[in-house]
């Protein structure tokens, strides 16, 4: 289970942390919430240069998130290969969208996290067709070079599928309004998102 909290800056993140601490004290609790035995916190920065059509993500309408964790000890090369892959998607005009974040604290250096939203798992049925379109647009030889570069640079790639759970989510008013039937019955309105 992952909880995501977006902030526009580190200053905004610090302010939110202080506000949560204040709420704990105001409500008479002098103890921090109990964390799961395996919980950890990562801080990651948005990478527009490694994202594809982020304006089409429509987070409030997604029911599933496909998450790729890509680890590399050679972050500069990993970014270069990632940019090649984004360019391949652009050349092919693939009908999908993903956003990328680079872990800067709490995780292994050189970790990139890609989020691809899905309204339905049926999107996975056309996964091979989308990849074929990328390969066709670039040509097999160029795609082979990109794949070889990815294999050289990335030490591991993990593909995880998450379901969006409105009953344990805190979402912005805008997210809630994007699909009221899904969010209103179960989600908690907040000034920040926690999916």
Structural domains of the chain ordered from first start: 45-163 (3.30.70.100)
Phi/psi for 96 (5° steps) reads -155, 180
What confidence score (pLDDT) does residue 190 get? 47
pTM of the shown model: 0.78
Contact 172, 190 (CB under 8 A): yes
What is the reported pLDDT for 194? 39
| pLDDT at residue 121, as a whole number | 92
Look at residue 27 in the predicted model and tell me its pLDDT: 62
pLDDT of amino acid 61: 92
For residues 155 and 147, give the distance between their C-alpha atoms in angstroms, rounded to a whole number. 13
d(CA 143, CA 41): 35
Q: Rounded to 5 degrees, what are φ and ψ at 44?
A: -135, 145
pLDDT at 192: 41
Assign residue 139 a region (left: φ > 0; alpha: ψ between -120 and 50; beta: otherwise). Answer: left
Extract the residue ranges of the chain whose pLDDT is less than 50: 187, 189-195
pLDDT of 5 reads 81
Closest CA to 4 of 55, 64, 50, 44: 44
**So what's the pLDDT on residue 142?**
81
pLDDT at position 33, please? Answer: 53
pLDDT of residue 40: 78
């Amino acid at each position: 289970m992952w909880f995501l909290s977006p902030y526009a800056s580190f200053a905004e993140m610090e302010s939110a942390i202080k506000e949560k601490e204040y709420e704990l004290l105001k409500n008479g609790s002098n103890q921090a919430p109990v964390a799961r035995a395996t919980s950890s916190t990562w801080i990651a920065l948005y990478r527009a240069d490694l994202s594809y059509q982020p304006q089409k993500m429509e987070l409030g309408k997604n029911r599933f998130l496909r998450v790729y964790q890509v680890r590399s000890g050679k972050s500069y090369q990993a970014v270069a290969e990632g940019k090649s892959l984004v360019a391949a998607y652009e050349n092919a005009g693939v009908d999908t969208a993903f956003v990328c974040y680079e872990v800067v604290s709490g995780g292994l250096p050189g970790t990139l996290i890609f989020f691809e939203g899905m309204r339905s798992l049926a999107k996975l049925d056309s996964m091979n067709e989308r990849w074929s379109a990328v390969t066709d647009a670039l040509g097999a030889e160029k795609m082979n070079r990109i794949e070889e570069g990815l294999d050289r640079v990335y030490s591991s790639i993990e593909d995880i599928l998450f379901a969006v759970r409105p009953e344990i989510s805190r979402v912005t008013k805008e997210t809630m309004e994007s699909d009221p039937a899904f969010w209103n019955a179960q989600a908690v309105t907040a000034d920040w998102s926690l999916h």
